[in-house]
A = this chain, B = another copy of it.
């Protein structure tokens, strides 16, 4: 299979998502960027926001508002996250990658109209300036051009509504939609960095990583009731990405990034 694709001239692409736990700790971020810069071949980074937006928001008197446990993005909050995610975090990451010889270019989904989104419709809750993105077929022409010229796109978790407004969008979802859209040009491995080494067979044993989950294996694990319930949505999302063209999804620790770009991974590789 791999050989056949290599013959067809398909190149590898890593779509890598990091969350707030990496962004918030300066040393973790520096170590991650050291590794990210060393990843060979085509790559894209999508970063979450981190707690710094909440901290700056508090200083600015912008309250974090929640309804039924879901964050509401009012006008002040969208300005706040546009500043913090799109400016402070994104441009710091870009400058630090540049200092490591990685030709990064920082973007939001508004730039080049790469990630158009729809403001979430109001049903019971008005989430405010929150954008939902399409799962397949994002218009990533500009991203393809950048990749073809060996640039490394770095996306903040922001999109736009095409009517002049920035929207707040979940970084995991952006990563999945980007990976899916680029799967018709590249063999994509979508890597989610989280706080564990991978999917654990025993949630209390960090060394019990299940290194490979196929659909058959997943069915067996579910039948045996072996998996921690909290991980199931991540695995379901991974298979949804695979069903729309992504070759592999890897769930692992940011610290293991380099190993997780190899064929032998320490994290959990999910594939058909």
Contacts and interface: CB of A to CB of B under 8 A. Distances in A.
Nearest to A96: B164
Given A112-B103, A112-B105, A113-B98, A83 B88 contact: yes
A110 interface: yes
B99 A106 contact: no
A116 B83 CA distance: 22
A94 interface: yes
A208 interface: no
A111 interface: yes
A214 B110 CA distance: 41
Contact of A82 (B82, B91, B98, B166): B91
Nearest to A160: B95
State the number of copies, please.
2
A74 to B, nearest CB: 15
Contacts of A107: 105-106
Contacts of A99: 162-164
A143 B83 CA distance: 23
What's the interface size class on A, roughly?
Answer: 35 or more
A111 B104 CA distance: 6
Nearest to A165: B95
Contact of A160 (B84, B98, B149): B98
A67 interface: no
Interface stretch (A56-64, A226-234, A252-260): A56-64
A96 B84 CA distance: 19
A172 interface: no
Contact of A85 (B85, B87, B142, B149): B87
A166 B92 contact: yes
Nearest to A30: B164
A149 B151 CA distance: 15
A62 to B, nearest CB: 10
A18 interface: no
15 contacts: A56-B83, A59-B61, A82-B92, A84-B87, A85-B87, A86-B86, A87-B91, A91-B108, A91-B111, A92-B166, A98-B164, A105-B142, A141-B149, A145-B145, A145-B149
The 4 closest A-B pairs by CB, nearest first: A87-B87, A99-B164, A83-B83, A86-B87
